[in-house]
A = this chain, B = another copy of it.
Amino acid sequence: MVRMSAEERRESVIRAATAEFARGGYYGTSTEAIAKRVGVSQPYLFRLFPGKKAIFLAAAERCIEDTIRTFSEAAEGLEGEEALHAMADAYTRVIAEQPERLMMQMQTYLAVAAAEQEGDHEFGEAVRAGWMRLWDTVHLPLGADIGETTTFMAYGMLINCLVAMGFPPGHRVWEGVYESARTKGRPEH
């Protein structure tokens, strides 16, 4: 048994929760599964967080923060086409190394409707605010071009869906995605 400070434990709970919620979504993930992954007893989670919802929320918010940081760091000091490529490359790395981050984001989006139905309007509010922050983060380096930004986000969502469906890398559905990353933003002739 490895003892940790509560704050450190909370961190590893967030990581474990991200992986588990990414696969099963809010309802398809038991707190026991999270606890197992952390290597801690299930009831102890409720000492670290007030409830399951709070764990989901913490994981969701962390996820958005991470993605915002990924893009803002990638685009730092660049703009226009260069920024676009840098951010696209950064996202490609996330796809390969942390697909659970993409999946968790999708789960977060879909959890909004369910939360809304249960009377929780704050959750949707928080998710939309996070989206807007993400949007603005890519908007500026892309020269504040709404069309470019929207297309970039659209490709991101397409990638998320393809990853979710489990299309293996190299499958023909990815062709158009890579192609676009190569040609997009190039001066027309």
Measured CB to CB, the nearest residue on chain B to A106 is B110
Known contacts A109-B161, A161-B157; decide if A114 and B150 are in contact (CB<8 Å). Answer: no
Enumerate A84-126 residues with CB–CB distance to B below 8 Å.
103, 106-107, 109-110, 112-114, 116-117, 124
**B150–A179 CB distance below 8 A:** yes
Measured in the bound complex, the distance between the Cα atoms of B153 and A103 in whole Å is: 18
A103 touches B110 (CB 8 A): yes
Complex Cα distance, B180 from A118, in Å, reads 35
Query: A151 to chain B: which residues have CB within 8 Å?
Result: 151, 154, 176, 180
Task: For chain A, residues 1 to 38, give those with C-beta under 8 angstroms from any C-beta of chain B.
Answer: 22-28
| Given A24-B117, A146-B179, 20 other A-B residues pairs in contact with their CB atoms under 8 A | A23-B117, A25-B110, A28-B114, A103-B113, A106-B106, A106-B109, A106-B110, A106-B161, A109-B165, A110-B164, A113-B164, A116-B166, A124-B166, A131-B167, A147-B180, A147-B183, A151-B151, A157-B157, A157-B160, A157-B161
Residues of chain A touching chain B, judged by Cβ–Cβ distance below 8 Å, are 22-28, 103, 106-107, 109-110, 112-114, 116-117, 124, 127-128, 131-132, 135, 146-147, 149-151, 153-155, 157-158, 160-161, 164-167, 173, 175-177, 179-180, 183, 188
